[in-house]
Structure 1
Amino acid sequence: MKKTLFISLGLVFSLAVSAQKLSTRSAEVSFFSATPVENIDATNQQVSSILNLDNGQFAFLVPIKAFQFEKALMQEHFNENYMESGQFPTAKFTGEIANYKKISLDKDGKYTLVLAGTMTMHGVSKEIKQEVRITVKNGKLSLKSDFNILASDYGVEIPATKADNISNSLAVKVSATYD
């Protein structure tokens, strides 16, 4: 599965043969949802990502079944009832980082830039524009971003009977350190 996801990254967008590319298979995506009854917190450390240093284009592929929850039942409900991971096994985020040329990979530094692209989840695609924090340290590039999404924007239905248990609003965190 991991191999298939990583190969798919290369197909998400074409990169010139001479392009300098960074990649990782261990990026992390987590989300948090607070409700009156319980909090839902899940983490996925099997996210693949590629970053083209020549033009700032990026891609993330997130295997839905790899999200880990505190309770096994939450994980089961997430995959079967809400994300329908059998039908929609991955989420994808592709796009580019604006003003990428401002970053010097030859020296340590911190940059706050904007990434823009398309997030596809549960069969629905939406344009996303979000701040990203990039750190270059000892020649390694890492990025972090925090943003909120609505499950309903991606066709994920939460029954009214579960509204006290599951929030429509999700706080998402993304982090990646590239090799």
Structure 2
Amino acid sequence: MNKSILFIALFVVPVCWSQTANRVITKQGQVSFFSHTSVEDIEAVNNQVLSVIDFSTSEMAVSILMRAFVFKKALMQEHFNESYIESDIYPKSTFEGKIMDFDPSLPDNQTKLVKGTINIHGVSKELDIKTKIENVQGTIVLSGTFDLRVADFKIKIPPIVAGNISKTIEVSFRFEYQPYEN
């Protein structure tokens, strides 16, 4: 299953990589989101996120299978996939961007801005993400948190449950990259 996800994601994510590119990849990156309201907290985690970085251009791509988000309550997961995200119609979310002023050869931690485009629910939006980049014994680790507005992605929330879902969702990510081998 993981090999088919990798195969699909590498050919679906529309980022062109040169043959001599110095690339790293993670097949099990983590993306989570959190929604807080006075009525209910909603949280989900996805540990099957694919991401690739090309060090020669500082470009990165992320592909997220929406059905891979796991919730504490099965009913929340069902509503997320069927009613809100419509995973059958929009099975994945993507991000394509560039790490600004990134030097992968530095052994120290760096905080950099990643500028790019996120696509969720068939809607693309420009995004700037403050990202912590660590070099942990030769492994590049990217992590950070950013907010997304539900309304920006044309996700319809029925009025009866609108008070249960925050208008702004906090998204967190952590990717541990390994060398990419053809």
Asked whether the two chains share a fold, i.e. TM above 0.5, the reply is: yes
The amino acid that maps onto 2:105 is: S
Match of 1:94 in 2: 96
Amino acid at match of 2:170: A
1:49 aligned partner: 51
TM-score, normalization by structure 2: 0.92
Q: Distance in 2 between matches of 1:42 and 1:10?
A: 25
Q: What is the TM-score with the length of structure 1 in the denominator? A: 0.94
* CA shift for structure 1 position 137: 1.7
Q: What is the deviation of 1:130?
A: 1.3
Structure 1 vs Structure 2 CA RMSD: 1.3
The residue matched to 2:6 in structure 1 has which SS? helix
Aligned to 1:174: 173
Please tell me whether the aligned partners of residues 151 and 168 of structure 1 are also in contact (alpha carbons under 8 angstroms): yes
Q: 1:27, 1:48 within 8 Å by CA — same for their partners in 2?
A: yes
2:34 — aligned with what? 32
1:62 aligned partner, one-letter code: I
Q: Give the Cα–Cα distance (whole angstroms) in 1 for the partners of residues 162 and 173 of structure 2.
A: 26
Q: Distance in 1 between matches of 2:5 and 2:52?
A: 11
SS at match of 1:161: helix
Q: Give the secondary structure class of the aligned counterpart of 2:3.
A: helix
19, 24, 31: which is aligned to 1:22?
24
The DSSP-based 3-state class of the residue aligned with 2:127 is: strand
1: CA distance, partners of 2:24 / 2:151? 33
**Higher mean C-alpha displacement, 164-173 vs 3-12:** 3-12
Structure 1 residue 2: Cα displacement: 3.8
Tell me what 2:128 maps to. 129
Identify unmatched segments of 5+ residues in structure 1: none
Q: Give structure 2 stretches of 5+ with no counterpart.
A: none
1:3 paired residue number: 3
3-state SS of paired residue (1:7): helix
Letter in 2 for 1:172: V
Structure 2 counterpart of 1:159, which letter?
P
Runs of 4 or more, structure 1, over 6 Å off, are none
1:55/1:100 contact within 8 Å kept = no
> 1:16-72 CA distances to partner (integer Å, 9 max, x unpaired)?
111110001100000000112110010000000001111110001000000000000
